[in-house]
Amino acid sequence: MEFIAPLDALFLLLESREHPMHVGSLQLFEPPEDAGQEYLREFRDTLLADRTCRPTFRKRPATWLGAPQLAWTQDTEVDLDYHVKRSALPAPGRIGQLLDHASTLHSALLDRHRPMWEMHFVEGLADGRFALYSKMHHSLIDGVSAQRLLRRTLTTDPFATEPKTPWNLPRKPRQETQHKGRSGLLGGLAAAGESTAALMKATRTGLLQQQLTLPFEAPRTMLNVPIGGARTCAVRTWSMDRIKQVKKATGTTVNDVVLAMSAGALRAYLLERDALPDKPLIAMVPMSLRDADDTDSQGVKIAALLCNLGTDVADPMQRLRTVSESTRRNKEVYRSLNSTQTLAVAALMLSPMAAILLPGFAAMGTPPFNIVISNVPGAREPLYWNGSRLDASYPLSIPLDGQAVNITLTSNGDNLDFGLVGCRRTLPDLHRLLDHLEDSLTALEDASA
Amino acid sequence: MEFIAPLDALFLLLESREHPMHVGSLQLFEPPEDAGQEYLREFRDTLLADRTCRPTFRKRPATWLGAPQLAWTQDTEVDLDYHVKRSALPAPGRIGQLLDHASTLHSALLDRHRPMWEMHFVEGLADGRFALYSKMHHSLIDGVSAQRLLRRTLTTDPFATEPKTPWNLPRKPRQETQHKGRSGLLGGLAAAGESTAALMKATRTGLLQQQLTLPFEAPRTMLNVPIGGARTCAVRTWSMDRIKQVKKATGTTVNDVVLAMSAGALRAYLLERDALPDKPLIAMVPMSLRDADDTDSQGVKIAALLCNLGTDVADPMQRLRTVSESTRRNKEVYRSLNSTQTLAVAALMLSPMAAILLPGFAAMGTPPFNIVISNVPGAREPLYWNGSRLDASYPLSIPLDGQAVNITLTSNGDNLDFGLVGCRRTLPDLHRLLDHLEDSLTALEDASA
């Protein structure tokens, strides 16, 4: 019997109908030109012929006399027909219908009586593409690792047959493990003799230190309220070239531009609802601290940066400067922390949800940020699966009480794919944020041209 | 603020991911001959144009400072786009795909932050029909009333336009209220000064008295185990004529034949798995006590009959006689109870789930039955909705810990529609029961011919 690590257990203990604790992904694929009517069904059949499941895909919380235990058990047999489902979109099969469908799937709790993952092959898109919606429980995997796992099923070879099976991927080759997962980090902490309490204390210190650099505490907004049980998902793709143009013209970073773009969109969304606070919104941004000239390949340097989004500023260029200055200063704060503290925060930040849920965090009073914006590492080259080209890969994360919307993005070839997930009651018109993101990027382009 | 009645509150308090407490229905419709491509979408749009919701469709459990309260609150605005969804089946759009889809929908918990009901228009059936899957929380409505509500949206006029809206049905005309709902019955009890405790005591007495007529207590079977969170639904239609032929030839009742048919199917299913107990299975059957010559139209006489299914008997005709004799004797037991006791049991039996969940019931030790088999009153004439003919109406009820499968059936014109819902882990091949039901009916026909 394997005990569930404390952080992972949190996602099980605190899960409820209102707070499903799974990370999701919505991928869009363009089938090969010679794909027939039966392509997708045969594809699924091919995958399902592989009945071998790696431990992560066989794990479920153990029960004893019907009561849940803080331990994992491994199912010897997995009902793959249940876990890998087919579904379809109603006519006319537009992206809107796909998002309605994904929102329904993302709102439903996983069954704890079987391994906690599902994949849904979705057909019926009018443009001939198909979608794969995947979800895994956050106690099994963090968002970064989930994206990486999905990427590892793909190949750069458009003509490769014998598609890899997500639940039976070969072990990671050694050279790919530079970005250590959560367990690696927690292992490192355990080796350093750090307890969860110490870890919490370090995290608090890290966040409080950063707050000192901010002009104000995070204001209360309409985004920071208790949430309901229904989700709305909204996704869109932007060309990386556009972001990079702004970055070059302004001497900032890709992350700065993405944050400024989000800041402008949030400002417009809140203005539209007459709900923009006087004080600027604060974002929490998991971010790598490694510089380009950092040759120390050993340390994992991921920090929970607090970022002043400058939503009180009308001018887009001034807002970008506020964002850029804020991330720069809080990176400095991290550099001043000792390495255990950095490590602790990094461990937590692979699971930003954990930070919000942890009791020590609640003791800080109001959360020190209004929204989590994550940029998850993605693929640089075009990728394929069974001859189908990956068109887009949208991460779908977890809103929480007090954090009614989440923005997560990832790179895919020459694109940046944004995945927004919100509480449907709080943000019934979440798709408006997409239009505001576009307007916000255009404003940055105009101002920096 | 309206307080939630104790029985209704049970369904909220005891609900979990493993025990969703909603009653469902899967209806199949044949669209009118002149229906175009846009028929279904326009139909839904027509319904959604009616934004008025009756109180049942606006109620949700109240919360106070985020904690759930035992009171109802009424939403003034209902997000109908959320509650009335569209979905589609993957190719080739067979009934198997529809049942997979219905099983997924029936496994998902309703959102308590909004009125607890959903309707799903399902397109993509290869035969051109469409389906409506509906679910309502059992705290709002019992299975009998849910079926009746759905029926009241329909009309006998195939050419009627302006379809009735389920969430805005006009109040019931006076003459249709003969079959009182749960609240009516509980109201009757309250008027009689009966408490929930007295009601429980009466129910126990009723059930224990009946047990005396049975040869043994209900055996433990593979159907009487803790259940998981995934459901399998299986449905099929049988011609009422076939049932009535057997009834006539044997001098029994329609209910007797249906129970014997189910008994034979359960026997075959358990035999197939080498899991047939020596002792006969006991079914709990909500049943009307009113005789054909009973002219007292005032009293509601519904009883929780315990029925010896005779699954230990190989001969189908002898099994039918065992069933018939068992129901006859337990009806006699009911006649010997005083009217308050009968009323109490009747109130509970409109919610068979409540009986299983109530604390007093658990104190009886093992449940006195192995399976709930309900025959819910249905329609006698062909019915239409917006010109579409109702082909079938399958009730989908609630499995529970210890009751891993439920059989509910209803009449629809000249047919009997069976809806089976099981725990997917316990009964992965629930559809086999359908074949056994057919074989079992054939055996009864052969034996009585």
Query: What's the pLDDT at B202?
Result: 65
Cα(B65)–Cα(A226) distance, integer angstroms? 9
Which band of pLDDT confidence, cut at 50, 70 and 90, is reported for residue B216? confident
Q: Does A16 have pLDDT greater than 50?
A: yes
Q: Does B297 have pLDDT greater than 70?
A: no
Q: Does B136 have pLDDT greater than 90?
A: yes
Which band of pLDDT confidence, cut at 50, 70 and 90, is reported for residue B179? very low
Q: What average pLDDT does range A245-253 have in this prediction?
A: 97
> Measuring CA to CA, how many Å separate B103 from each of A55, A345, B113, B144, B422?
27, 42, 23, 21, 9
**Comparison of pLDDT for A128 and A359, the residue scoring more:** A128
Count Cβ atoms below 10 Å from residue B67 Cβ, excluding itself. Answer: 7
**DSSP letter string, B357-387:** HSHHHHTTSS-S-SEEEEEEEEESS--EETT
Give B-chain residues touching A86 at CB under 8 angstroms: 90, 97, 100
Give A-chain residues touching B90 at CB under 8 angstroms: 41, 86-88, 121, 123-124
Phi, psi of A22 (to 5 degrees): -115, 150
Which band of pLDDT confidence, cut at 50, 70 and 90, is reported for residue B145? confident
> Measuring CA to CA, how many Å separate A111 from each of A238, A310, B104, B284?
35, 41, 11, 29
Lowest mean per-residue pLDDT among A238-242, A380-384, B182-186, B297-301: B297-301
Phi, psi of A109 (to 5 degrees): -70, 145
Query: What's the pLDDT at B210?
Result: 73
* Average pLDDT in chain A: 85
Residue A431 falls in the annotated catalytic set: no
Give B-chain residues touching A18 at CB under 8 angstroms: 112-113
Cα(B329)–Cα(B321) distance, integer angstroms? 12
Query: What's the pLDDT at B336?
Result: 74
Lowest mean per-residue pLDDT among A24-33, A153-162, B14-23: B14-23
Structure confidence by residue, pLDDT tens digits, B374-385: 998 888 899 999
Query: What's the pLDDT at B302?
Result: 59
Query: What's the pLDDT at A377?
Result: 84
| Marked catalytic residue, from A101, A106, A137, A138 | A138
Query: What's the pLDDT at A292?
Result: 45
Q: What average pLDDT does range B31-41 have in this prediction?
A: 94
Instruction: Measure CB to CB from residue A112 to each of B17, B37, B401 and give the nearest one.
Output: B17
Could you tell me if A122 and A98 are in contact, meaning their C-beta atoms sit under 8 angstroms apart? yes
Give A-chain residues touching B37 at CB under 8 angstroms: 91
**Comparison of pLDDT for B299 and A264, the residue scoring more:** A264
- Pairing mode, if any, of strands B117-123 and B84-88? parallel
- Angle between helix axes B316-336 and B196-211 (nearest 10 degrees) is 140
Min Cα separation B146/chain A (Å)? 23
Strands of the sheet with A67-74, listed across from one edge: A2-3, A67-74, A59-64
* Average pLDDT in chain B: 85
Q: Does B291 have pLDDT greater than 60?
A: no
Cα(A392)–Cα(A383) distance, integer angstroms? 10
Strands of the sheet with A405-412, listed across from one edge: A231-239, A415-423, A405-412, A371-379, A282-288, A302-308
The contacts of residue B193 (CB under 8 Å, 6+ apart) are: none
Cα(A276)–Cα(A221) distance, integer angstroms? 8
What DSSP designation does A16 have? Answer: B
Give B-chain residues touching A116 at CB under 8 angstroms: none
Which of B83, B89, B110, B113 has the most A C-beta neighbours within 10 Å, making it the best mutation to test the interface with A? Answer: B113
Question: In terms of Cα–Cα distance, which of B174, B147, B180, B170 is closest to B54?
Answer: B170
Query: What's the pLDDT at B195?
Result: 59
Structure confidence by residue, pLDDT tens digits, A177-194: 444 444 445 555 554 555
Query: What's the pLDDT at A294?
Result: 46
> In this complex, is the C-beta atom of A123 within 8 Å of any C-beta atom belonging to chain B?
yes
Query: Quick check: B87 and A109 CB within 8 A?
Result: no
Query: What's the pLDDT at B67?
Result: 64
Highest mean pLDDT among A286-300, B99-113, B196-210, B350-364: B99-113
Cα(A269)–Cα(A41) distance, integer angstroms? 41
Q: What average pLDDT does range B63-83 have in this prediction?
A: 84
Tokens standing for residue B147: 């079926």
> In this complex, is the C-beta atom of A107 within 8 Å of any C-beta atom belonging to chain B?
yes
Query: What's the pLDDT at A160?
Result: 92
**Comparison of pLDDT for A141 and B152, the residue scoring more:** B152
Q: Does B20 have pLDDT greater than 50?
A: yes
Query: What's the pLDDT at B298?
Result: 40
Cα(A247)–Cα(A445) distance, integer angstroms? 10
Q: What average pLDDT does range A380-399 have in this prediction?
A: 95
What DSSP designation does B398 have? Answer: -
Q: What average pLDDT does range A77-85 have in this prediction?
A: 96
Q: Does B194 have pLDDT greater than 70?
A: no
Lowest mean per-residue pLDDT among A163-177, B3-17, B256-270: A163-177
Cα(A15)–Cα(A4) distance, integer angstroms? 15
Could you tell me if B169 and B153 are in contact, meaning their C-beta atoms sit under 8 angstroms apart? yes
Query: What's the pLDDT at A9?
Result: 78
Closest residue in chain A to residue B65, using alpha carbons only: A226
User: By three-state DSSP, how is residue A190 classified?
Assistant: helix
Instruction: Measure CB to CB from residue B229 to each of A41, A111, A121 and give the nearest one.
Output: A111
Could you tell me where the DSSP H helices lie in B62-195? 80-83, 95-107, 143-152, 182-191
Which band of pLDDT confidence, cut at 50, 70 and 90, is reported for residue B300? very low
What is the rounded (10 degree) CA torsion for B190, B192, B196, B201? Answer: -160
The contacts of residue B38 (CB under 8 Å, 6+ apart) are: none
Could you tell me if B319 and B264 are in contact, meaning their C-beta atoms sit under 8 angstroms apart? yes
Query: What's the pLDDT at A333?
Result: 79
Could you tell me if B143 and B393 are in contact, meaning their C-beta atoms sit under 8 angstroms apart? no
User: By three-state DSSP, how is residue B164 classified?
Assistant: coil
Chain-centre distance of CA B303, in angstroms?
A: 15
Q: What average pLDDT does range A327-337 have in this prediction?
A: 81
- Angle between helix axes B431-448 and B254-272 (nearest 10 degrees) is 120
Lowest mean per-residue pLDDT among A313-327, A393-407, B107-121, B356-370: B356-370
Which band of pLDDT confidence, cut at 50, 70 and 90, is reported for residue A341? low
Q: What percent of chain A has pLDDT over 90?
A: 60
Q: Does B55 have pLDDT greater than 60?
A: yes
Instruction: Measure CB to CB from residue B88 to each of A41, A90, A401 and give the nearest one.
Output: A90
The contacts of residue B278 (CB under 8 Å, 6+ apart) are: B219, B312
Chain-centre distance of CA B346, in angstroms?
A: 15
Query: What's the pLDDT at B74?
Result: 93
What DSSP designation does B45 have? Answer: H
Q: Does A396 have pLDDT greater than 90?
A: yes
Q: What average pLDDT does range A362-367 have in this prediction?
A: 55
Q: Does A66 have pLDDT greater than 50?
A: yes
Structure confidence by residue, pLDDT tens digits, B257-267: 999 999 999 99
Query: Quick check: A87 and B101 CB within 8 A?
Result: yes
Number of alpha carbons in the 13 Å side-chain half-sphere of residue B247: 12
Phi, psi of A424 (to 5 degrees): -65, -30
Q: Residue B141: in which H helix or E strand, if any? A: none
User: Hey, what domains does chain A have and what are their CATH numbers?
Assistant: 2-142 (3.30.559.10), 194-382+389-448 (3.30.559.30)
Query: Quick check: A108 and B108 CB within 8 A?
Result: yes
Chain-centre distance of CA B328, in angstroms?
A: 23
The contacts of residue B378 (CB under 8 Å, 6+ apart) are: B147, B151, B393, B410, B411, B412, B417
Q: What percent of chain B has pLDDT over 90?
A: 60
Q: What average pLDDT does range B204-221 have in this prediction?
A: 75
Cα(B111)–Cα(B79) distance, integer angstroms? 12
Query: Quick check: B425 and A228 CB within 8 A?
Result: no
Q: Does A300 have pLDDT greater than 50?
A: no
> In this complex, is the C-beta atom of B217 within 8 Å of any C-beta atom belonging to chain A?
no
Question: In terms of Cα–Cα distance, which of A232, A285, A237 is closest to A263?
Answer: A285
Cα(B434)–Cα(B426) distance, integer angstroms? 16
